[in-house]
Amino acid sequence: MPRNPSNEKANIHFLKPVQVEAMRDAAYVGRHGDRDDAMATLLYDTGLRRGELAAVDRDMLDLDEGELRIPGSIQKHPPTGGTPDPVTFELDRAGSLRTVRTLRAYLDGADVDVALFPSRKSDRMTGKGINDVVKRLAERAEVRPFHAGGRGEPGDVTAHTLRHSVAWRMLRAEEGNTIYDVRNRLRHSTVATTEQRYDHFQTV
């Protein structure tokens, strides 16, 4: 059955910047405040998918340059096949997220060898573990995401909600971005994909 674009848009949940800030504050209620804040911030800054973030290594971060460089091998592969090109993210392009400072605070107090976000039970956290952290922060902060039909509940927030929230922030809360900029940040295969998912974020 073909996907119905209108239904897909109705299921896109997003958060506004003030709600993400509330989640970041809620990180410090738990035992892993610096880690959880860094995780949520990096997802919200770059739009990485949870599986991609789980695969990020410490050495992919260059905090002196304010950059995150990821190889094509850890990115989601397009349905047409092939490996995506490597990509370099400029962290906190708009200067409002404090990404580099947050990551420095986390790394100063963390025992990080290879994986940027190691697990107590294995070498690195899984995508599910990262998603669980995001959901826990949303529940603590009691943030209700927005969608085309109204509002959701804190339990509806996932790591992918933060990816959608990047698009909303770029198009509505920051100046100078176009749908092409969103496409590049989220690394969609075509700008048509970005338009299909997020053109309703723009006002008419």
Please, what is the Cα angle at 171 between 93 and 155, to 5 degrees? 95
pLDDT for 162 beyond 70: yes
Q: Which of 116, 24, 108, 105 is nearest to 61 (CA)?
A: 116
Does 69 fall in a domain?
yes
Q: Given pLDDT bands bounded at 50, 70 and 90, which one contains residue 93?
A: very high
More confident residue, 77 or 20: 20
Q: For 151-179, what is the mean pLDDT?
A: 97
pLDDT of residue 82: 83
Does 174 fall in a domain?
no
Q: What is the CATH number of the domain that holds 157?
A: 1.10.443.10
pLDDT of residue 6: 53
What is the domain extent for residue 29? 5-161
Q: Given pLDDT bands bounded at 50, 70 and 90, which one contains residue 46?
A: very high
Does 166 fall in a domain?
no
pLDDT in tens, 52-91: 999 999 999 999 999 999 999 999 987 777 889 999 999 9
Q: Which of 154, 197, 128 is nearest to 15 (CA)?
A: 154
Query: What is the total count of domains within the chain?
Result: 1
Does 172 fall in a domain?
no
pLDDT of residue 1: 38
Does 181 fall in a domain?
no
Q: Which of 129, 157, 131 is nearest to 142 (CA)?
A: 157
Percent of the chain with pLDDT over 90: 86
